[in-house]
Amino acid sequence: MTISSSLNAGVAGLTSNASRLATISDNIANSSTFGYKRAQADFHSMVLGDTGGNYSAGGVRTTTSRLIGERGALINTGNPTDLAVNGRGMIPVTDGNAVDGGDNNPPMKLATTGSFHPDADGYLRSDTNLVLMGIPANTDGTIPGFARESSASLEPVKVNVNQFVGNPTTEIAMEMNLPATDTNADASGEPLAFSVEYFGNLGTRENLDVSFTPTIPANGASNEWELEVTDPRDGTVLGTYTLQFADGPDDGGMLETVDPAGSYDPDTGAVQLNIDGKDVDLRIGPHGDRSGITQLSDSFSMLSVDRNGSPAGNLVSVEVDEEGMVNAFYDNGHIRTIYQIPVADVPNPGGLTTHGNQTYTVSNDSGPFFLWDAGDGPTGSVEGYAREQSTTDVATELTQMIQTQRAYSSNAKVIQTVDEMTQETTNIKR
């Protein structure tokens, strides 16, 4: 029994060391594979105990695991959609075959890094047929709320390269001084008029006619003006507002009231215009502040008229920032957020189920995933122009390979010795 248990232990040793050598060879083979997580073989003794003073060798067994939680070093690349997570967490991806097949809810996989390029349909796809997934942004570039414990809101990231897009104006800010003397009883009452340029829904340059008409009192000074905004294309009056300015020792020249009051936000200093079906904030200045429009002295001074938006532009590049926002850059200087790439985290990364091409799926051992904003909670930031290197250290693997070779030879020697002892026992019978 003792001799046979020694033989079994030797065979178990050969098998276990062969398994360890398999993990070592896999690690070395993937030492240059981006995102590869090294495999590890752990040895566990099998104890059978003593039987009547005779020891029975239990042998050894191995368990193998992939150290998914380990992080490789990041290296810089020249592709803006080469992505890596700088810290804990993974980016969501899916199989390209599911996207090509029209699956409206493709299965989510996880990866720590990937090199993505727009394919013929605009999907950000890797050479291994993985498609990046994200949360689509609203038309104004904001990210809607989404379920953090579900992949239902994730969609394949699609970039329409060479696409033209308009960036209509949504805000116009005016800074100017109106002459206080124009509201005196002896003033002419002539309006002050000028044009303001903005960008329309179709990416065209349009104008608004703006006029300030002073209120002339019977005596003294009214410190009151009527602001009128007109669309010169058809003469439509977009808004008429009565502006009253203060004349006290501390607040003289500041905007005091706007009538109708409901059309004016005293905190932001804006009145709202409806132009071509969209709301545009015309900022004339907050209440009790000298920014915006003032009424002082005897001269009209146009300090600045600023507006956001831009003419129609062509998409020229896409980049991902550290917060996971996929930003589209246009040749007119406009930048628009089109997706957010969340970072998924699980309680036990080592329990994830491993698939090909350095991808993983959630299992009972890993626990459920949660979609974080990049950099929030325990997760790291998303790095563009970057790839994660393999976690394999070749020098360490070679050292372990020598140790494994020695252990394998020693176990082979045990089998050889048991064979010789068995032969001696057979010879005794002769």
pLDDT in tens, 125-154: 999 999 999 999 998 889 999 999 999 999
| pLDDT for the residue numbered 314 | 86
First to last CA, the chain: 21
pLDDT tens-digit readout, 335-379? 889 999 999 999 999 999 999 999 999 999 999 999 999 999 999
* Residue 94: pLDDT band with limits 50, 70, 90: very high
> Using CA atoms, how far apart are residues 14 and 100, in angstroms rounded to an integer?
47
Indicate if the alpha-carbon torsion angle 291, 295, 298, 299 is positive or negative.
positive
> Using CA atoms, how far apart are residues 152 and 155, in angstroms rounded to an integer?
8
pLDDT at position 278 over 80: yes
Average pLDDT over residues 59-68: 91
pLDDT at position 429 over 70: no
> Using CA atoms, how far apart are residues 95 and 103, in angstroms rounded to an integer?
10
**Among the listed residues 313, 317, 353, the one whose alpha carbon sits nearest the alpha carbon of residue 333:** 313
**Among the listed residues 265, 268, 181, 174, the one whose alpha carbon sits nearest the alpha carbon of residue 227:** 174
| Residues listed for the chain | 430
Pick the more confident residue, 56 or 276: 276
Pick the more confident residue, 262 or 212: 212
pLDDT at position 1 over 60: no
Beta carbons within 10 angstroms of residue 121's beta carbon: 12
Cis peptide before 260 (omega within 30 of 0): yes
CATH 2.60.98.20 boundaries in the chain = 169-308
> Could you tell me which CATH number the domain at 169-308 has?
2.60.98.20
Q: Which amino acid belongs to residue 356?
A: G
Provide CB contacts within 8 A for 193, sequence distance 6+.
209, 210, 211, 212
